[in-house]
Structure 1
Amino acid sequence: MSVYDEELRALREQMERKRKLDAMLKDLGARQQELTGRVSELEKAKLEEQADVDRLEGHSLAAFFYGVIGKMDEKLTQERQEAYAARVKYDAAARELSAVEEDLERKEDEYRRLEGCEERYAQVLREKREVLKAAGGETAESILTLGNL
């Protein structure tokens, strides 16, 4: 009987792990969705800031204006700092999203490996019950009595 007991214990642990993984997968999915939106927003901001730098470095009216009033270097430095800050924020969010996606993938793989543990548990329990019934005695009588309730 200890073979059945050991297998049932292992299967109960698998079922518990699967329940925990299910909760983790829901949390990670929500976090992934949130980060995907944030990365998209930050990418847009990064591109806008870089466009500001490009306009000042090019032959735009703004570049001409700042050149005439003598503030070109100051304005260009400010725009480059803003572009750099936007890139840093975007890169950090993109790395975080990548880490969440990797974690999500690992947990999904583990969850898939645990598929069917509930059915295996029920099957082993039925097998143990049948062996106990076949053995007869007081235990078999208890099982038969409980089965008729």
Structure 2
Amino acid sequence: MRELDDQIMELKQEKYLKDKFLRRLEELQRDRQHEADNGKSLRLRLEKELKDVDKLEGVSLSGFFHMIAGKKEERLEKEKEEAFKARILYEESKQKLAELDTDIHALNAKIEESGDVEERLKAVLTKKEQLIHESDPALSALLNNLTEQKINLEMALKELDEAEDAALQAENALEKADSSLTSAKNWGYMDMAGGGLMSTLIKKSHMDEAKEVLHSAQYYLKRLQAELNDLGKELTTNLEVSDFLHIADLFFDNVFSDWMVQERISASASQVAQCLERLDVLQRELKAEKQRVQVDLQKVEQERLSYLHS
């Protein structure tokens, strides 16, 4: 056990250094990107300044007017000075970029040298856990309990992820439906105002689009309801899928007037808007629940590892 503890301590120190190198590498990569962008701007500035010098030195309209005004030499000297400054800044930027590349290369070498330290530490901790199970029944029972808690929390997290995904898919479909219904409603008003066959066809096209995405939304809402049931939790938002099941075909029944069609389009749009509001509340609750589970999972894992590291 003592030998395992020494290995754990050594690997923890190695992992600490690797994590430190990774953080530093991330900083250097950000600095490099910033300097690369800066270098591009400085190169463009240098090219512009050199062109300005060439214009004044050569036979150009700008150079001609400056010569007539008796200020060509003064202007040329100023442009050369600006070009010189731009060149200095550009060269400095290239040097900084080269230095950053050197540091990044060195850090990558150190990180590569550490190899799979995380996996090696995990393997040693697993070995120690096995020894504990064999030699310390009380601690073994405690670890088993924590492991069971961890598994349950991981399963809950997976269920929440699936619920969030279903809610997002439903939201996307409903937003498309909302857009199609709004367009159908607007073209419906034009149709009733005597817009002719074209406005009728465009309205019908938007209604067809709405029908298609509403059927898709119904599928994801049903899936969401199933995921919420799997969670076994009472969320404060009560999202009833059954209220929504017949919206898609609502305005495709037998209708006898444009006003009736328009009313049904408006009713559908209103229900879609209400459903989007409910989804927004539900998504916020799922996010809060997910954060709570993640915190609990982190605490359980930290407690479990604390016994293995001690």
TM-score bracket for the superposition, by shorter chain length = 0.7 to 0.9
| Cα shift at 1:132 | 7.1
Rounded Cα–Cα distance in structure 2 between residues aligned with 1:148 and 1:130: 11
Q: How does 1:1-149 map to 2 (within 5 A)?
A: 1-128=1-128, 140-141=136-137, 144-149=140-145
How far off its partner does 1:129 sit? 5.2
Q: Give the corresponding residue for 2:256.
A: none
| Offset, 1:82 | 0.5
In 1: Cα distance, 2:144 partner to 2:72 partner? 91
In the TM superposition, what is the alpha-carbon distance from 1:83 to its structure 2 partner? 0.3
The size of the alignment, in residue pairs, is 145
What CA distance in whole angstroms lies between the structure 2 residues aligned with 1:31 and 1:5? 39
Residues 1:55 and 1:148: Cα distance change in structure 2 (over 3 Å): closer
- Indicate the residue corresponding to 2:253 in structure 1: none
- Aligned residue for 1:59, secondary structure, equals coil
Q: Residue 129 of structure 1 contacts residue 143 of structure 1 at CA under 8 Å; is this kept in 2?
A: no
Aligned-residue offset at 1:7: 2.3
Give the drift of 1:12: 0.3
Q: Which has the higher contact order (CA 8 A, sep 6+)?
A: 1
Query: For the aligned residues, what is the CA RMSD?
Result: 2.3
Letter paired with 1:64: F
Q: Compare 72-81 and 92-101 and name the one that shifted more.
A: 92-101
Cα displacement (A) at 1:10: 1.6
Using structure 1 for the length normalisation, give the TM-score: 0.81
Matched residue type, 1:34: H
- Give the gaps of 5 or more residues in structure 1: none
Say which SS state the counterpart of residue 70 (structure 2) adopts.
coil
Offset of residue 81 of structure 1: 0.2
Q: Which residue of 1 aligns with 2:272?
A: none
Question: Quick one: distance in 2 between partners of 1:46 and 1:77?
Answer: 15
Whole-angstrom distance in 1 between the partners of 2:144 and 2:27: 43
What TM-score do the two structures reach when normalised by structure 2? Answer: 0.42
